[in-house]
A = this chain, B = another copy of it.
Amino acid sequence: MGVDPGLTRCGVGVVEGTPGRPCRMVTVGVVRTPPDADLADRLLTVDDMLSRYVEKYRPDAVAVERVFSQHNVASVIGTAQASAVAILVGARRGIPVHTYTPSEAKAAITGSGTADKKQMTTMVTRLLRLDEPPKPADAADALALAICHVWRGGTRARIQRAAQLQQTPKGAQA
């Protein structure tokens, strides 16, 4: 499950797949909270809605976009707060949580860490063989994070396996 964190719009996307193979979209959505609502109510809504996704789809991992200080300073606070909620939704249930920078997600999906929103949406639509692009962009970004995690998880597992094989003494059973 990928989460593109935000208080006004929080993208959520669930995919299933194995490393190196096309993923399948399970669901996609956006959690919205009114900008003029009380902060506690907004955080509670994001917590509640993301919790429902986790309980319904029981993801193996949660991938959340990492918040950077390069972001717009005015909006970074809300984004950071929503990301904390998303991370806790997974962590409280013992689900592994990984964070990825926007460039990592872009590089995993398009091959370029500097791809723009439109290129990302186009690639996500193509990779998941969707009939039309997921909207809004937050939804597409959430799916991109989920795909990024599946694929990079594969790379990571292969590296770990290779490292283990190298460490295994000759003649020993791996």
Contact = CB atoms under 8 A, between A and B. Distances in A.
Interface of A: 39-41, 43-44, 47, 67-69, 73-74, 76-78, 80-85, 87-88, 90-92, 97, 99
A76 B67 CA distance: 11
Contacts of A83: 81
- Overall SS of chain A's interface: helix
Nearest to A44: B91
Contacts of A85: 84, 88
A80 B43 CA distance: 12
Given A67-B77, A69-B77, A76-B69, A88 B47 contact: yes
Contact of A76 (B80, B88, B90, B97): B80
